[in-house]
Amino acid sequence: MTYTVGKIAELIGGSVQGDSTIEIKGAAGIEKASPGHITFLSNDKYIADTKKTEASAILVHQKYATEKFTIPTICVDNVYSALAEILTLFDSREDRDPGIHPMAFVDSSAKVDATAHISAFSILEENVAIGPETHLLGHVYLGKNVTVGKNCILYPGVKVYKDCHIADNVILHSNVIIGSDGFGFAPQGDGTFVKIPQIGNVVIENNVEIGANTVVDRATMGSTLIREGVKLDNLIQVAHNVEIGKNTVIAAQTGIAGSSKVGEQCQIGGQVGIVGHLNLANRTMIQAQSGVTKSTKKEGTKLYGSPAIAYNNYLKSFAIYKNLPDLQARISKLEKLLGELQDSQDQPYESKNDSEGV
């Protein structure tokens, strides 16, 4: 499907400079774009590339509105947000017809909306409920009493254990596991461990997206909660009874231990470790590879390091740490000079006149 530059600007709330009638058939990066593509500019270092691009139009931030481009431009306040809307226009993912594939297994007690799509080799156990326009692709497993809302996509290999609930507009990528047992074992006097039954569930609210191979454990009792708008990357571990607040984003390989509560609009980098039973305030920001061992109470706290400390303090500390060899050498030199000074002061005073016998 094609759109004119003017139509795209209308759809995303931008303003056009140049020919608004040029037709656009897709989007591409500034160096890979060809005629018929729209590309984008959000960083000064790529301005020179705009003179060489073969794209037919360019999406730019308002700060470039006075820049002279050789192709039509659409100016917006937020380039990445507008780009997301444009990519949605040209999303070529295959539409799937509603219905249940004959090679899927759906228990007779399950309720599947007529507009939903269930692919081959998917399994729906007793009392599963699937909402309108939801797509379950191949080899999806839903345990007893699982509910999935409307307009969801569960990609191949997703497994949702019994009693878990997924709301509307949720995307679960391949091999996501929802509702596996939390890591709960009671130590015994003889050194062995007895499993603590995990009888809770997982609740995922609206507009959540969870990346491939991420695991969200069921609660020991109650619910592990993924609140509205949360975005989880690939390869994340969310332990039992964790709660992640609205619109929080977490990058890959992060692990959150049991019963910790992450606030709303937090930003957590990759490979972050968060110990159990913490409370992180809203809008907490954690740099990649940090280890968080203490709760935060102030909104907007920034953390860095392992164990994590205040972000600016970490940067100051690291600036000192990387200079420690030079600092040690300087200290040794100062100690030597100080020792020589002290030695000279310890010598008895002898005047020139005394030495001459005057």
Tell me the C-alpha distance between 204 and 244, whole Å.
Answer: 10
Is 101 an active-site residue? Answer: no
Contact between residue 96 and residue 114 where contact means Cβ atoms under 8 Å apart: no
Residue 260 in tokens: 């910790």
Cα separations (Å) of 32 from 1, 37, 38, 150? 20, 9, 11, 36
Which letter, b or e, does each residue of 174-198 get, where b requires 16 or more Cβ atoms within 10 Å of its Cβ?
Answer: bbbbbbbebebeeeeeeeeeeeeeb
Tell me the C-alpha distance between 233 and 253, whole Å.
Answer: 8
DSSP H or E segment with residue 148 = strand 147-148
Contact between residue 165 and residue 222 where contact means Cβ atoms under 8 Å apart: no
Task: Please give the DSSP secondary-structure letter assigned to residue 89.
Answer: H
Residue 326 in tokens: 């030079």
User: Considering just the CA atoms, what is the radius of gyration of the chain in Å?
Assistant: 30
Catalytic entry in 61, 173, 240, 277: 240
Of residues 54, 67, 57, 45, the one with CA closest to residue 4: 57
Coil vs helix vs strand at 68? coil
DSSP H or E segment with residue 49 = helix 47-50
Contact between residue 148 and residue 112 where contact means Cβ atoms under 8 Å apart: no
Adjacent-strand bridge partners of 273: 255, 291
Contact between residue 246 and residue 266 where contact means Cβ atoms under 8 Å apart: no
Tell me the residue type at 169.
N
Of residues 163, 173, 76, 158, the one with CA closest to residue 123: 158
Cα separations (Å) of 118 from 68, 98, 278, 330? 51, 8, 40, 71
DSSP for 110-144, please give it.
-EE-TT-EE-TT-EE-TT-EE-TT-EE-TT-EE-T
Residues carrying an active site annotation: 240
